[in-house]
Amino acid sequence: MNKIVEEVNKMSIEEQETKLREIYPEFFEKKEEKHEEKKGLPPLPKAEKGKVVTRFAPNPDGAFHLGNARAAILSHEYARMYDGKFILRFDDTDPKVKRPEPIFYEWIIEDLKWLGFKIDEIHYASDRLEIYYKYAEELIKMGKAYVCTCKPEEFRKLRDAGKPCPHRDEPVEIQLERWEKMLDGTYKEGEAVVRIKTDLNHPNPAVRDWPALRIIDNPDHPRTGDKYRVWPLYNFASAIDDYDLGVTHIFRGQEHAENETRQRYIYNYFGWEYPVTVHHGRLSIEGVILSKSKTRKGIREGKYLGWDDPRLGTIRALKRRGILPEAIRELIISVGLKRSDTTISWDNLAAINRKLIDPVANRYFFVADPIPMYIKGFEEEFTAKVPLHPDHPERGYRELKFTPEKPVYVSKDDLELLKKSEYIRLKDLFNVKLLEVSEGKIVAEFDSIEYEKAREQRWHMIHWVPEGKECEVIIPEGDELTVKKGLLEKDADVKVDDIVQFERFGFVRIDAIENGVVKAIFAHK
């Protein structure tokens, strides 16, 4: 068995394939078929082509991150899969505790577009207050909702005991009167709340007569200012909106599972059909902070540079790190609809991203922590021509010129390798014999020019640069940010936003070019 494996390994790939086609032709057909069938999302229950409406409903109180992206991408993906409609709805109904900020409305739209979304409709819950009022009033008239003026603690006590509060069963006229007082400002913040009637013996006390609308005295809402004082709570706004906007399928985190039981009461009272819901688990990347409050805190304390700090898991941060939107999409689709939480490793994301980036990223030499290498015995100028991409020579070449008497620079990262080697090949240049190796300088002697010799002798190969421009690579590692300073080949044609590979170093995205200094952010190996 081992012998056969050895033999096969000795053949070239073409030989292997030809042989295989000879003895086992079906293999090739089958392989292709199998590749097709996998991947992609499972079919959606009760989904009809052209009739699926999904929505993503973020609160614009922070930047969009990978965790939110799961619900967003699934929603969008299914909308497209069934030729349906995807709605973006800003759930900006809390001007107090989770205050929306104007910038995040813009960023969320921007990030969604960057991810390749086609947004069919955009709605703002804060524009829809009158709609909520209308339905609230209807529910009150139907006797399915009431205005409660209990102190929160008192209500909680009754609720936990499964008992009705004194306002619950008062006649509709009185409820409507109080509702009016909520709207006209007679009641102040904290004095009254509209509650939806539920089963008072519901096993989960938190579901019993849950609050639907509350008063906020000086909302100073970023979009509506102080125009409205009565604001719906999440469950009410969401339930009404999903119905009113015709949403058929909802994707949200499992932390919302309990909310569904609350919202269903409204649907039942009105006789509406509840959308199909998919509750997925939480998605995170190992070691990356997604929490909005932690991020905000870190920014305030100066720990993070901003919402796009490369250590963070916001979509903007991922973008800055050179992660492609398509990679994020693929990742989320591959994780799928599972209900359990998922913590993916960077390797998983990096592997997807690398497949996308590798064919397009141009190659350059970047020498981190340069050490000069003086080379004796080669007295002419010599220009190394290196392809911008090894698999695509048609894209052109870069030229690195060796000049006698002038050192070339190699990276301190290769110091150990140099110390234990007698000979080394400078990639695309020539082979040298190492005479002296230290952290401060390296002295070498020209040996030969042929690549073949280095290969036969199994000499190691390192990258180098004759002269270069200053370059800094920011490397996010967990919660740390380290900077590698070095030299990038002088004529490297890089622009901000380019994703390139620094050979033997890794893929980076060019983040800025300031005063001739190239600043890059490390993506992955």
H or E stretch including 250? strand 249-253
How far apart (Å, rounded) are the C-alpha atoms in residues 511 and 305?
A: 14
Write out the binding residues for RNA, residues 80-139 only, by CB under 7 A.
91, 93-94, 96-98
Q: H-helix or E-strand containing 434?
A: strand 431-437
Question: Does 45 contact RNA by CB under 7 A?
Answer: no
Q: Measure the CA–CA gap between 56 and 270, rounded to whole angstroms.
A: 24
**DSSP of 61-105:** SS--BHHHHHHHHHHHHHHHHTT-EEEEEE----SSTT---HHHH
Instruction: Name which position in 120, 413, 467, 470 contacts RNA (CB under 7 A).
Output: 413
Residue 59 near residue 26, CB atoms below 8 Å: no
* Residues in 420-459 that interact with RNA by CB under 7 A: 425, 427-428, 451
Stretch that binds RNA, among 109-117, 172-180, 241-249, 346-354 (CB under 7 A): 346-354
Among 80, 114, 205, 382, binds RNA (CB under 7 A): 205
Euclidean distance between CA atoms 118 and 122, whole angstroms:
11
Residue 12, helix vs strand vs coil: coil
CB of 389 to RNA, least distance (A): 7
Q: What angle do CA 512, 514, 518 make, to 5 degrees?
A: 60
Q: Looking at 111-119, 269-277, 349-357, 400-408, which segment touches RNA (CB under 7 A)?
A: 349-357
Helix (H) or strand (E) holding 512: strand 506-514
- In the complex, least distance from residue 204 CB atom to RNA, rounded to whole angstroms: 4
Q: Which is nearer to RNA, 9 or 515 (CB)?
A: 9
Q: Which of residues 463-502 bind RNA (CB under 7 A)?
A: 463, 501
Between residues 205 and 306, which has the closer beta carbon with respect to RNA? 205
- Does 189 bind RNA (CB under 7 A)? Our answer is yes
Q: Which of residues 216-235 bind RNA (CB under 7 A)?
A: 231-235
Q: Which C-beta is closer to RNA: that of 413 or that of 467?
A: 413
Residue 452: CB minimum distance to RNA, A: 8
Shortest spacing between CB 68 and RNA, in angstroms: 10
Site for RNA in 5-34 (CB under 7 A): 5, 8-10, 12-13, 16
CB 61 within 8 Å of CB 51: no
Contact of 280 with 69, CB cutoff 8 Å: no
- Strand order of the sheet with strand 145-148? 145-148, 193-196, 211-215, 230-232
Binding region for RNA (CB under 7 A) out of 310-318, 320-328, 348-356, 470-478: 348-356
Q: Considering the complex, what minimum distance in angstroms separates the CB of residue 271 from RNA?
A: 25
Report the site for RNA in 252-311 (rule: CB under 7 A).
254-259, 281-282
Q: Identify any residues that bridge with 480 across adjacent strands, giving them in sequence order.
A: 477
Q: How far apart are CA 52 and CA 43, in angstroms?
A: 12
Rounded to a whole number of angstroms, the minimum distance from the CB of residue 490 to RNA is 19
Position 363 contacts RNA (CB under 7 A): yes
| Among residues 113, 163, 355, 441, the one that binds RNA under rule CB under 7 A | 355
Distance (Å) of CA 326 to CA 351, 352, 473, 476: 12, 9, 24, 21
Choosing from 146, 155, 251, 446, the residue that interacts with RNA (CB under 7 A) is 155
User: Residues 168, 503, 513, 519: which binds RNA (CB under 7 A)?
Assistant: 503
